[in-house]
Structure 1
Amino acid sequence: MRIRTGRRAGRTAAMILAACLAASLPSMAAPGAAAATAKGPAAAPRSWAATAAELDRVIQRTATDAGVPGVIVGVWKPGQPRYVRAFGIADKSDCAPMRAGLNMRIGSETKTFTVTALLQLVDRGRVGLDDPISAYVPGVPDGRHITLRQLAEMRSGLFPYSKDTGFQHLLTTQPHRQWAPRELLRIAFGHANQFPPGARFDYSNTNTVLLGLVVERVTHRPLRDVIRDLITRPSGLDHTFLPKAAEFPLPHAHGYTDFTPDGTVADATDFNPSWGWAAGAMISDLDDLRSWAVNVATGGLLTRQTQAERLDAKPTGAPGDFYGLGIDVNHGWIGHAGSLPGYQSLTIYLPAMRATLVILLNTDIPSRGENPSTVLGRAITQVISPGNVYGDASDQS
């Protein structure tokens, strides 16, 4: 099929998207949908049915305002029916609706898996959190003074390779390129360290790529195999894995990004996420992430002492936000967000309510300067946990 170009093509694409969204609206919040996840219409308490209906309205309105093509949302709270919905479209080309069982790219949620693998090696006595990275990976600037702990808590001072302008140019112009971890590190190490180790927080994919190499060095096995054998297989996460390249099992949603040379929106479904590797390349689905949210927040695969160290989170500089060892604590919610071209995600657990929230989106295009996953996370938690609003800049103390 010939691809249209120019303003006419843009108007046509917008018309097609509008038609897709309009066609999907009846299934997004159909009458009686609030009780559909219980055993029958009368099984859900009236209060929860009202909450579910409010979530339907809030999510649909927020996603529309943020320009999100499609979103999958799951909310689980003890004593209440589960709330699982899919809104909008998974593929603009044929108006295929978003469905709850689709595979999705989860971006930086990968960090929770890589750091969990590292912490399991800590529990086995194979590595120490205060070991210098130079003991495992040569050539790291100031590597004798940067510890594995500082890498995991984003306080190493190493330059984030993803902020390098040359790398960004290659990523937009060669989105299908296969990247090796050492290539990424060469880009990072071409810049001076930003501050002395431990001085402050700075989110950097360079840190987690290095930790992925530590796991491989100690186990003498590929990181993807270690994650499978130590984490996903024992946890029953059958749809979660670290791909070698751009493989993406069906069924999956198409992802849309404006991270392109000219800023136009592109289908990023087949972009190669190898540039994220240990920091951002993994794939999962809603059910797996629901289980992982509880597991990673409560330390299901770690000793109590190591989990306590993981959750010893320090301020990031954003109100109400703290970062531990490969994990975020935001206004009481424990977990991680993820973003890469075409996809965003948020998987979090609130111990005070034993509540779980998972959000999966098929776009990374900002909404008024914010990640759409943050916008949706805030809107949803305003309904389900008004005392713990994710991403809320107000003082919650």
Structure 2
Amino acid sequence: MQLNTAFSSKSLRALAAGTGLLALLAVTACGPENSATAAQSDRPEVRQALETVVQAGFPGAQAVITTAAGEWIVNAGVGDTASGAPIPDNAHVRIGSNTKSFVATVVLQLVAEGKVELDAPVERYLPGLVRGNGNDGSRVTVRQLLQHTSGLPDYLASGDPSRPADPNSQQIKADPEAIRGRHYSPAEMIRIAMTMPPQFEPGTRSIYTNTNYILLGMLIDRVTGRPAAAEITTRIIEPLGLRDTYFPAPGDNGLRAPYPRGYQEIDGTRIDFTDFDPSWADAAGAMIATGSDLNRFFLALLDGKLLPAAQLEQMRQTVPFDRMPSAGYGLGLVVQTTSCGKQTVAHGGSIPGFDTRTGVTADGVAVTMTVNELPTNKERAEVVERAFDSVVCAS
């Protein structure tokens, strides 16, 4: 579900921003001015859930909850450790692997238009690209890319402690010294992936792999003649009026205002990692949005406003998800059940600086929760996941 990263470089401590953590709590109701929204904004369970994240040592957290009655925002902690300012309302944040849902939607629109076949081999659309060290694009289908059952190796070192990266691998390791200002092309990332053998036989397992979505972005480009970012803009962002959602252009290394600072812990020191070149994430996780826009996107998608019923149904059919044993992975969607029995559908994403959890419930409540520091181990990731579960259950 995420672009997970792990850093270790003692020389980076000189880059550290202020590390004081201020337990500032702010609650803001927005959207339609009515009693229902006002009452919801005062729900203590949401506030308490975000406070547990701050108490665990994260700088700040924000929940954006969208319902038929309106929308409200709850903040805990800070969006800037130097000034003590909270995460602003309508904050632009890096949404990481939520990008995959946008990419999958465009691919499925192309399927509906008869321009792509789900069970056709990748070789048909990207001839000669998936080849080498046992990788074979003629044996991997578009569906398998979408659902992470391709078996292809990941160009990106995941940082997952349960699957440590090979130190001799050419995988991109998200070390700030190496990637912060470097630009990667999709073709370069696929060349890196092809230096490694497949992880498993196509279609026999499901292992979350960012290479799959870099290839899907390239497929969109090849089929439409336009970059995936342009197709996402004209097919999704503009029709839905998502004014605060965008795919950063080459060289656009910052965030549009308003935004919180994004932090990363490296060797025990908190680094300000707000600005960097996100090209290494590309179609697997480079997009930027607000919580409100993410909620609107997932609500529209699941309400059938972006896809015909047949393709939406395909999108929701899941296989076991290796990174979340209690969840299933569809074609760019994650389906999971919370501790209170509510099922959510959306995705989620992690990238240096931000961890964003998303979900839409069966009764049409959309939740986006953002933490402005990427968890660096399983225990801290579980703190964020439990808080998101609590927010959904209280919404």
**Range into which the TM-score falls when normalised by the shorter chain:** 0.7 to 0.9
1:118 to 103, 107, 111: 107
Residue 286 in structure 1 maps to residue 291 in structure 2? yes
The answer for unaligned runs of 5 or more in structure 1 is: 385-397
Matched letter for residue 49 of structure 2:
V
Query: Per-residue deviation at 1:345?
Result: 0.8
Aligned to 1:213: 218
2:50 to 55, 59, 78: 59
Matched letter for residue 391 of structure 2:
I
2:263 to 256, 268, 277: 256
Separation in 2 of the partners of 1:86 and 1:203? 31
Aligned to 1:184: 189
Secondary structure of 2:78 counterpart: strand
Residue 240 in structure 1 maps to residue 251 in structure 2? no
Matched letter for residue 333 of structure 1:
T
Q: Which moved more, 1:81-90 or 1:323-332?
A: 81-90
Aligned to 1:391: none
Aligned to 1:302: 307
Q: 1:275 to 1:50 in 2, by over 3 A?
A: closer
Q: Which protein is bigger by CA-based radius of gyration?
A: 1
Separation in 2 of the partners of 1:143 and 1:236? 37
Task: Map 1:119-198 to 2 at 5 A.
Answer: 119-137=108-126, 138-140=128-130, 141-163=135-157, 165=167, 166-169=170-173, 171-174=175-178, 175-198=180-203
1:361 to 371, 384, 390: 371
Q: Specify which structure has the bigger relative contact order, considering alpha-carbon pairs within 8 angstroms and separated by 6 or more residues.
A: 2
Kept in 2: contact 1:100–1:286 (CA 8 A): no
Separation in 2 of the partners of 1:380 and 1:39? 22
Secondary structure of 1:195 counterpart: coil
Query: Per-residue deviation at 1:6?
Result: 11
Task: Map 1:30-41 to 2 at 5 A.
Answer: 39=33
Separation in 2 of the partners of 1:7 and 1:111? 33
Q: 1:208 to 1:9 in 2, by over 3 A?
A: closer
Separation in 2 of the partners of 1:45 and 1:179? 44
Q: Which moved more, 1:100-109 or 1:317-326?
A: 317-326
Task: Map 1:82-101 to 2 at 5 A.
Answer: 82-101=71-90
Deviations 1:136-166 (A, max 9, x none): 2223121101000000000000011112654
Residue 339 in structure 1 maps to residue 350 in structure 2? yes
Count of residues paired in the alignment: 360
Separation in 1 of the partners of 2:14 and 2:278? 32
Secondary structure of 2:296 counterpart: helix
Q: Which ranges of 4 or more aligned residues in structure 1 deviate by more than 6 Å?
A: 5-10, 35-38
Aligned to 2:7: none
Query: Per-residue deviation at 1:13?
Result: 3.8
Kept in 1: contact 2:263–2:353 (CA 8 A): yes
Matched letter for residue 74 of structure 2:
R
Q: Please give the TM-score of this superposition, normalised by the length of structure 2.
A: 0.84
The answer for unaligned runs of 5 or more in structure 2 is: 1-10, 158-164, 338-342
Separation in 2 of the partners of 1:290 and 1:7? 36
Deviations 1:374-394 (A, max 9, x none): 23212213434xxxxxxxxxx
Aligned to 1:321: 327
Secondary structure of 2:148 counterpart: coil
Q: Please give the TM-score of this superposition, normalised by the length of structure 1.
A: 0.83
